[in-house]
Amino acid sequence: MFARRVILPLLTLGLLLAAGCGGAKREDPIHARNDAEFETWIADHDSIFSADEIKELDDAKQQIKFLAMTERHSAESDAFNNAVYGRIDQHTAREVLITGYLLRVDREQVELQNYDPELQKLQRYVADRHLDADQHRIFADDLERIQKKIAGRHATLAQLQKRLEELKAQSDATKP
């Protein structure tokens, strides 16, 4: 009687705990050579990562896909798939996130540099004393619009860099 009421529940609990120890872990390397395998890995780990973290991983995968496209791989080719999943397969979620954030930071910096020629041109026009009031107002409005876009890009860049530093400071065993 004692065995049924005390030992059997303890044995059952022990087996459940032992089964849980062998499950998916945050530091597991991603095993994915294509989108389907990536989605399967995510599904196997969805109890470990929050919905926001899974979205972050998907965003990182998108950044890696953008990079593969800039490397001139056709989106339907095996080379494209290899270029994408060569940067994901056997890497931890944290490593993939760091790669994604590095790519986003780089892209944001390029976007900021792309504003320079237009910004300089508008600054010259606004400073030009030969313009009539209407022309000056048009250029001043354009300059203000560009400056707001640049400020938004700087804010986004600061957020990306902050998150990147957080990820770099963490170990794989901690929450991304």
Q: Does 154 fall in a domain? A: yes
Strands (DSSP E) found in 6-159: none
Q: How is residue 30 annotated by DSSP?
A: P
Q: Taking Cα atoms as reference points, which of 113, 122, 61 lies closest to residue 91?
A: 61
Beta bridge partners of 92: 29
- Distance of alpha carbon 39 from alpha carbon 151, whole angstroms: 36
- Distance of alpha carbon 9 from alpha carbon 12, whole angstroms: 5
**pLDDT given at position 74:** 72
**pLDDT given at position 80:** 87
**pLDDT given at position 18:** 39
Q: Does 1 fall in a domain? A: no
Q: Does 71 fall in a domain? A: yes
Q: Does 161 fall in a domain? A: yes
For residue 29, report the phi and psi dihedrals to the nearest 5 degrees: -70, 150
129 and 59 Cβ atoms separated by less than 8 Å: no
Report the domain count for the chain: 1
- Distance of alpha carbon 110 from alpha carbon 118, whole angstroms: 14
Q: Does 176 fall in a domain? A: no
Q: Does 20 fall in a domain? A: no
Output the pTM of the full model.
0.78
**pLDDT given at position 22:** 56
Q: Does 128 fall in a domain? A: yes
Q: Does 126 fall in a domain? A: yes
Which residue segment(s) compose the domain that 59 sits in? 26-169
54 and 42 Cβ atoms separated by less than 8 Å: yes
**pLDDT given at position 167:** 94
Q: Can you give the pLDDT of all 176 residues of the chain as single tens digits? A: 555 555 555 445 444 443 444 577 888 999 999 999 999 999 999 899 999 999 999 999 999 999 998 887 676 778 888 999 999 999 999 999 999 999 999 999 999 999 999 999 999 999 988 989 999 999 999 999 999 999 999 999 999 999 999 999 986 545 55
CA distances from 10 to 4, 13, 14, 23, 118 (A): 10, 5, 6, 21, 72
